[in-house]
Amino acid sequence: MQPLLPLVVEPAQLAEQLGAQKLLIVDLCKPEIYASQHIPGAVHLEYTQLVTAQPPVMGLLPDDARLGEVFSALGLAPDMHVVAYDDEGGAKACRLLWTLDVIGHAHFSLLNGGLRAWLAGRHPVSNAPDQPSASRYQVARSDRALADKDYILAHLQDAQVKLLDARTPGEYRGTDKRAQRGGHIPGAVNMDWTEALDMQNSGRLKPANALRARLDALGVTPDKEVIVYCQTHHRSSHTYIVLKSLGYPRLKGYPGAWSEWGNSHDTPVE
C-alpha cells in the first residue's frame, strides 16, 4: 500500500486529507494547548506515555505490552497513516514516529513546522476533544531502528558506523554536564538538533541540500549506518526523522542515550 502522505508533510498537504478514513493525526502538544486549539480530528497523546525510566537512565522504550496499550487507546490500526505534530519543534512528535519505526508500523509523517506552521497557514482548528475508538494494536518490535549500549560498544571501532550526537555543543564537550560524567561517546560528531530547523519559517526543516551539506561536512554520509543519540533520545528522535527524510537507509536511535552512557562505569568517554 502506498503511503497517503510523504514522510515530511506540509500543512497544506495535510489540510487536503483531513477526514481521510485511514488517517490518524496525533497531537503531542501540551494538554492546555490541545484543549484550546488543535488540528480537527487530532487525538491527544501525552509524551510521557512513550517513555519509561530506570533512574538515572531515562527515555527508555516501554515494553511491547505497554506500547500496545498506548497505541490501542489511540485507535491505531496497522493500515493507518499516522501524522504527528507538537508545539515545540517536533522532537516529541518524532519520538512517536521513531517508536512506530521500531515496531514496524509502515506509514507515518511529521507535520513540517508543527502547530506553529499550521496556524501560520491559517488552517482550521478545533477545541473539541476527539475520543478515538479503541483498537487492539499488536506490537512486535525489531532491532532495525534500535541501538543499545552493548551494540554501540561493539561498533565503536567500526568505520561503517557513525555516531551523531544531537545535544548542545556544551553537552558534547562536557562543559554542560547532565550525568555523572560529561563529554560524548568516542568518535561521535555533534550537530545540535535545532540546527535542522529554520526558525524564520515557522520551525520547518531547512532545505534538504543545506542539511545534506552540513551532514557531509561531519562525515555523516548515507553509505554508513548512523546511530543518533542525545540525553534521552528526545531531541535525537528529531534528528533520526531528518536523516530518514534525506534517504539515509541505515539508521538507529539509542534510547538510553547519555543518561545511560554518562552514568555507566563501563563506557569510554571523550
Cβ atoms within 10 A of the Cβ of 105, count? 20
| Cell numbers that stand for 135 in this block | 483498537
CA 107 to chain centre: 14
Read off φ and ψ for residue 111, nearest 5 degrees. -75, 115
Count Cβ atoms within 10 A of the Cβ of residue 110 and give its class: 0-12 exposed, 13-18 middle, 19 or more buried: buried
CA 84 to chain centre: 10
The answer to whether 29 is a known catalytic residue is: no
Q: Which of 146, 179, 230, 242 is catalytic?
A: 230
Question: Which whole-number Å values give the CA distances from 215 to 11, 157, 193, 219, 221, in the listed order?
Answer: 26, 20, 12, 6, 7
Residues involved in catalysis: 230
